[in-house]
Chains A and B, each alone.
Chain A
Amino acid sequence: MEISVTMNGTARTADVEPRMLLAHVIREEFGLTGTHVGCDTTSCGACTVLLDGSPVKSCTMFGVQADGHEVTTVEGLAGADGLHPVQVAFQEEHGLQCGYCTPGMMLVGAALLERNPDPTDDDIRWAISGNICRCTGYMNIVKAIQTAAKAKAAAPAAATA
Chain B
Amino acid sequence: MATEAHEDQAEIRGIGHSVKRKEDARFIRGKGNYIDDIHLPGMLYMAILRSPFAHAKLNGIDASRAQAVPGVVAVVTGELMAQHNLAWMPTMSGDTQAVLVTDKVRFQGQEVAAVIAEDPYVAKDAVELIDVDYDALDVVVSPQQALASDAPVIRDEKDGQTDNHIYHWESGDADATDRAFADADRVVSLDTFYPRSHPAPLETCGCIADVDGATGQATIYMTSQAPHAIRTVFALVAGLPEENIRIVSPDLGGGFGNKVPVYPGYVVATAASLLLGRPVKWIEDRSENLISTGFARDFHMHGELALKNDGTMLGLRTSLLADEGAFHADAQPSKFKVGLFHVVTGSYDMSAAHVVADGYYTNKAPGGVAYRCSFRVTEASYLIERLVQNAAYELGMDPADLRKKNFIRKDQFPYETPTGFVYDSGDYHGAMDLALEKIGYAELREEQERKRAEGKLWGIGLASFTEAVGAGPHKDYDILGLKMNDGAELRIHPTGKGILKISSKTQGQGHETTFAQIVAEEIGIQPEDIKVQHGDTDNTPYGLGTYASRSTPTVGAATAMVSRRVIEKARKIAAHLLEVAEEDVEFTRPTFSVRGAPDKAVTIQDVAFAAYTNFPDGMESGLEAAYYYDPPNLTFPFGTYAVAVEVDRETGVWQVTRMVAVDDCGVRINPMIVEGQIHGGLTEGYGIAAMEQITFDETGNCIGSNFIDYLLPTAVETPRFELGETVTPSPHHPIGAKGVGESATVGSPAAYVNAVIDALWPLGVRNIDMPLTSAKVWEAIEAAKAPA
Contacts and interface: CB of A to CB of B under 8 A. Distances in A.
B714 interface: yes
B568 interface: no
B714 A129 contact: yes
A33 B29 CA distance: 10
B509 interface: yes
Interface in A63-80: 73-75, 77-78
Interface string A79-97: 0000100011011101011
A94 B31 CA distance: 17
Q: Which bucket holds chain B's interface residue count?
A: 35 or more
B202 interface: yes
A34 interface: yes
Contacts of B706: 39-41, 43
A145 to B, nearest CB: 10
A79 to B, nearest CB: 13
Nearest to B685: A137
Interface string A125-154: 110111111111111111000000000000
A141 to B, nearest CB: 7
Interface SS of chain A: loop
A134 B254 contact: yes
B721 A33 contact: no
Given A41-B707, A43-B707, A99-B253, A132 B683 contact: no
B30 A73 contact: yes
Contacts of B114: none
Nearest to A87: B28
A103 B30 contact: yes
A81 B254 CA distance: 32
B287 interface: yes
A134 B200 contact: yes
Given A33-B37, A87-B28, A97 B707 contact: no
Interface string A111-130: 00000000000001110111
Contacts of A103: 30
A97 B715 contact: no
A47 B787 CA distance: 52
B24 A136 contact: no
Interface stretch (B173-181, B211-219, B672-680): B672-680
A92 B21 CA distance: 9
A22 interface: no
B16 interface: no
- Considering residues A38, A90, A130, A134, which has the most beta carbons from chain B within 10 angstroms of its beta carbon? A134
A139 B204 CA distance: 24
Interface SS of chain B: loop
Nearest to B199: A134
B25 A91 contact: yes
Contact of A90 (B28, B681, B708, B714): B28
Contacts, number: 167
Contacts of A83: 28-29
Contacts of A41: 286, 706-708
A58 interface: no
Q: Which bucket holds chain A's interface residue count?
A: 35 or more
Interface in B519-574: none
A132 B202 contact: yes
B715 A128 contact: yes
B712 interface: yes
Contacts of B680: 97, 134-137
A34 B30 contact: yes
A8 to B, nearest CB: 10
A41 B672 CA distance: 33
Contacts of A124: 715
Interface in B269-317: 285-287
A98 B29 contact: no
Contact of A132 (B252, B682, B714, B720): B714
B28 A98 contact: no
A98 B254 contact: yes
Interface string A16-52: 0101100000010000111111111101101000000
B23 interface: yes
Contact of B203 (A34, A38, A131, A138): A38
A73 B479 CA distance: 43
A40 B287 contact: yes
B29 A78 contact: yes
Given A35-B30, A38-B286, A98 B121 contact: no
B609 interface: no
B167 interface: no
Given A134-B680, A139-B721, A140-B679, A98 B715 contact: no
B79 interface: no
B172 interface: no
B256 interface: yes
B54 to A, nearest CB: 23
Contact of A99 (B251, B287, B681, B712): B251
B683 A138 contact: yes
Contacts of B204: 38
A35 B252 CA distance: 15
B742 interface: no
B676 A136 contact: yes
B242 interface: no
A98 B718 contact: no
A78 B30 CA distance: 11
Contact of B716 (A19, A94, A126): A126
A102 B715 contact: no
B684 interface: yes
Contacts of B121: 17, 19-20
Contacts of A20: 121
A40 B632 CA distance: 46
Contacts of A91: 20-21, 24-25, 28
Contacts of B203: 36, 38, 46, 98, 100
A97 B509 contact: yes
- Considering residues B23, B287, B675, B707, which has the most beta carbons from chain A within 10 angstroms of its beta carbon? B707
A11 to B, nearest CB: 20
A129 B715 contact: yes
A140 B682 CA distance: 13
Given A41-B706, A43-B707, A44-B707, A96 B679 contact: no
A101 interface: yes
B720 A99 contact: no
Given A91-B28, A132-B712, A137-B680, 6 more contacts: A34-B29, A35-B30, A43-B706, A43-B707, A97-B680, A100-B253
Q: Sort A-B residue pairs by CB-CB distance and give the 6 closest, nearest first.
A: A34-B30, A100-B253, A98-B508, A99-B27, A137-B679, A74-B30
7 contacts: A38-B202, A41-B706, A97-B676, A99-B253, A100-B34, A133-B715, A141-B715
